[in-house]
Structure formats: C-alpha cells, structure tokens
Amino acid sequence: MKKVFCIGELLIDFVAENQGKDLSKAKEFTKKAGGAPANVACAISKLSGQSAFVGCVGDDPFGSFLLNILDKESVDLSLVQKSDVFTTLAFVSIDEDGERDFVFSRGADRELKYDSTLKNEFKENIVHFGAATALLGGNLEDAYSRYFFDALTQNAFISFDPNYRIDLWKNKEDVFIKKCIPFIQKSHLCKFSLEEAQLLSGKTDLKEACTYLHEMGTDIIVITLGGEGTLLSTKTHSKTIPSIVVKPVDTTGAGDAFIGCLLKQIATHHNLEQTLDNEDLLTAMVAMANKAGAITTTNFGAIESLPNQKQLLS
C-alpha cells in the first residue's frame, strides 16, 4: 500500500456554543481539532491506510492537544515541526441556517520550513495538498510549493483540494485563483466543492467548468455536491455518482472524509495509471468515498466522526 503525505495546516477550532452567528455575544466555546489536511490524514488512517501529516504547530498546550489526537488515530507525526510561535486558532460561530461569524488568528501553521529529505519519501507514493492556509504566505507557502515540485519529480500521485474559505479570501478571490492554477495544471486528481469549481473555472455550468479545469491539465476531477453525491469527471467521461441517504447533523469534515477515503482506495493499487483509466473502478471508489463523507455528517465534530473500515463496509 502506498503512503499518503498530507501537507498543510493543523489548528484549533473554537466553536461557539448555544447562540447565533454573532461572535461578539459568544460566551462558551468548545475546543476542536481542525485543519483539512490533518482531517484527511486521520480519515486515511482510520480506514487502515498509511498516512503522514506534514505541518507545524506551536510548542504549547494547544499544539500538544492536536498532536495527541492525530497520534491516537495512528497518523505518522515524524514530519511535524514545532515552533515558538503559538498554535493557529480559529473562532467560529454558526447559526441554524449555517451563517457564520469567523475570526482567524494565524500562528504556527505558517512557520513550516521546507525539508529536502522528504523528497525521497515521496517517491511513487501519494502527496495530498490541502490549501486552506497554505496559499496565505509565510514559510508554509514556500515549503508547499517546493514539496509540490518534489512530488512531481519523484513520480508521486498528486492530489489537490483548494479548501476555499471565503472568510480568508474576501476581496482577494483573484489572488486565490491565480495561486491555485499551477496545482490544477499538474495534479492527477483535484477535489472541489461546487463553489470552488465555479469560482476557479469562472463557469456556473458544471460541465463547462470541468472542461475548463481539464484543459488546465488535471486528469480527474471530483466535485462534491452534498446530498446529491459527487460529479466524477475525466477527460473522456463524466457522471454524477449518488451518495447514501442520511440525516446530517454536522457537515464539518465531510469533504475531508470523502477525499481521504478516495485516496486510501487509490493507495491500494500499484499501477495507478491503469487504475485511473478504469471507469467502473473509479465509479466504485467514488461511491465508497461518498459513503464515508455521508457517515461523517451524522455526528458532531470532524475527526471523531470519521468512519472506520467496519463502519464503511457495514
């Protein structure tokens, strides 16, 4: 089985309890582990895959809290760095309609320094780039770009999820699009939400959006559509693959569960080019990933809600 290296942020989400979206009125917060790439690493490990997280946390109690959670999920933490800068924090308040108030206090995630020794570990493995904070500058953005080049030169299978957060890119959407383009051009697999696919392509019609994004260079596109399933698109075919019916209570981490499950399945195949040319196999893998994402929405919290292999196969 190939190993999946997940590069990006690991942070604390402080989620406001028992009130609406006005964060100024919040009095009680629940501390949660956050960071899309870290969620993906946990999703893979919980499904008996091999994952490693590449990122930076503060050398403080919050950083220890986060690493303990990933360690309990058997994620390889040997490549994690610690910084004297405080662990990155996000404060979030959400109302019943999903509207939210958001304050982001960026810290140690941006301090990740490039490590040239990782290049050899990438060889013929899988490298997943989750971009929520990785394109916001700092050492992380430099390391992220250099690891991307290393993955290309080491014949790694490359996965990219832009993880667009409107709160982080207000009035700077054009900068976000420009920074995503090189990754879309060279990645084998790109995972988008509906909003991301439309933003990055400039097209509202999904078929036109996929055509545009394929012309950039990516071979496989998966666009998650919530309860409607996932649009799977390659350069030769396109179809929407339905998900299972569930009653969602918290959609946090569903997309990370989806891409983690998909990458874990891809990691079990030795000849990736032959595997990814097989439409029936791809369809089956996306259907299974849909199920993983759906199960995650039936409980509160991202990492604790990620399914294990037994849940997924039941």
Please report the pLDDT score of residue 92 as a whole number.
Answer: 83
Please report the pLDDT score of residue 252 as a whole number.
Answer: 81
Confidence of residue 272 (pLDDT cuts 50, 70, 90): confident
Please report the pLDDT score of residue 20 as a whole number.
Answer: 65
Please report the pLDDT score of residue 276 as a whole number.
Answer: 81
Least confident of 26-35, 60-69, 137-146, 177-186: 26-35
Please report the pLDDT score of residue 300 as a whole number.
Answer: 76
CA 230 to CA 287: how far, in whole Å? Answer: 8
CA distance to 95, 148, 168, 224, per residue, from 104 (Å): 18, 26, 8, 25
Residues 280-313: pLDDT tens digits? 999 999 999 999 999 999 887 788 889 999 989 8
Report the pLDDT averaged over residues 190-211: 97
Whether the CB-CB separation of 54 and 127 falls below 8 Å is answered with: no
Residues 43-85: pLDDT tens digits? 999 999 999 999 999 999 999 999 999 999 999 999 999 999 9
Whether the CB-CB separation of 9 and 88 falls below 8 Å is answered with: yes
Please report the pLDDT score of residue 172 as a whole number.
Answer: 96
- Strand-pairing partners, residue 5, are 52, 127
At position 32, the amino acid (one-letter code) is K
Angle, CA 87 vertex, CA 75 and CA 127 arms, to 5°: 40
Nearest CA-CA partner of 187 in 132, 240, 131: 131
What number of residues does the chain have? 314
Confidence of residue 24 (pLDDT cuts 50, 70, 90): confident
Pairing of strands 89-94, 100-105: antiparallel
